[in-house]
């Protein structure tokens, strides 16, 4: 259950990080609201400027008839260390854990147990690829970004819902309609392989992925963007064929704060909870 919950977690985070961007330089936020599409492109390119953040996520997923609910907090510090506290509920079974991810190592703690050190190379690609996405938003944004201006007409449309507040910050609430199949087709082969590794499909060939994404439907994709151009809240609902349904609500705060510190444990044992 832990492994399946992690796979779904990485899939959602990777899909969120792989947002669409715009060509050229991002526009500078101004007191006068930009057109909705420009705000969305700005928010996507601003992901490359994120050095640290905190995020709270609630997710529900149905995979091959099994329901999984996840809730977690994620912290990224300026040293690229990631801290995760999560709860997974699957088929009536509940588990909570803590995880710390550094450049070379992964540490995990289950309830009533001591910290366990896991070598990254011992984990499958569904973990190692996604670790890079979480710990390096700038690289992820650069690698996965798709230039909206080069997509076929209608592949991405953005409407402004209104000006609202999230955690006391003024935000632009956008409703995004995305034809993910068209976006997927805009990736070259190398990008498709990289994306597949990141969301746990490393063992699936590109022909199979094309078939999966031809059936992918993003039901809802709402984004709340602050005046600096950062995404502060995201709600996404999507289907990946008839077997997988994902629903996610994520809020981000303390973006680029120097106060966020994720410290690896000083005492731990060697092992692999996923084996």
CA torsion sign for 158, 164, 165, 166 is negative
Predicted TM-score (pTM) of this structure: 0.81
Model confidence pLDDT, tens digit, residues 80-112? 899 999 998 887 888 899 999 888 888 999 888
What is the tens place of the pLDDT at every residue in 137-156? 655 555 555 567 777 788 88
CATH 1.10.3470.10 fits 2-253, yes or no: no
256 Ramachandran zone, left/alpha/beta (phi>0; psi -120 to 50): left
55-86 b/e (C-beta count within 10 Å ≥ 16 → b): bebebbbebeeeebbbbbebbbbeebbbbbeb
Compute φ and ψ for 150, nearest 5 degrees: -100, -5
Q: What is the DSSP string of 16-67?
A: HHS-EE-SSSPPPP-SSPPPHHHHHHHHHHHGGG---EEEEEEEEEEETTEE
Query: Above 60 in pLDDT, residue 3?
Result: no
Query: Computed from CA positions of residues 70, 97, 201, 102, in that sequence, does the dihedral angle turn out positive or negative?
Result: positive
Question: 198 pLDDT band (50/70/90 cuts)?
Answer: low
The mean pLDDT value for 161-171 works out to 93
């Amino acid at each position: 259950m832990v492994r399946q919950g992690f796979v779904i977690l990485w899939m959602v985070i990777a899909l969120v990080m792989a947002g669409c961007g715009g060509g050229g330089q991002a526009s500078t936020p101004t007191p006068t609201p930009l057109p909705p599409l420009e705000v969305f492109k700005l928010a996507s390119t601003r992901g490359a400027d994120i050095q640290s953040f905190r995020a709270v996520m609630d997710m529900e997923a149905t995979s091959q008839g099994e329901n999984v609910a996840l809730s977690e907090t994620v912290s990224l510090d300026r040293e690229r260390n990631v801290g995760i506290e999560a709860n997974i509920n699957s088929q009536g079974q509940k588990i909570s854990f803590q995880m710390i991810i550094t450049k070379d190592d992964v540490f995990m703690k289950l309830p009533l147990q001591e910290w366990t050190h896991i070598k990254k190379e011992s984990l499958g690609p569904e973990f190692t690829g996604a670790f890079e996405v979480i710990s390096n938003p700038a690289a992820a944004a650069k690698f996965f970004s798709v230039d909206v201006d080069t997509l076929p007409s209608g592949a991405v449309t953005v409407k402004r819902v209104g000006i609202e507040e999230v955690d006391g910050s003024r935000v632009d609430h956008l409703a995004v309609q995305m034809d993910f199949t068209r976006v997927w087709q805009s990736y070259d082969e190398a990008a498709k392989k990289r994306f597949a590794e990141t969301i746990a499909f490393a063992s699936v060939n590109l022909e199979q992925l094309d078939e999966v994404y031809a059936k992918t439907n993003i039901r809802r994709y709402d984004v709340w963007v602050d005046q600096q151009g950062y995404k502060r809240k995201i709600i996404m609902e999507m289907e990946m064929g008839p077997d997988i349904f994902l629903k996610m609500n994520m809020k981000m705060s303390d973006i680029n704060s120097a106060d966020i510190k994720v410290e690896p444990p000083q005492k731990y044992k060697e092992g692999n909870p996923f084996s």
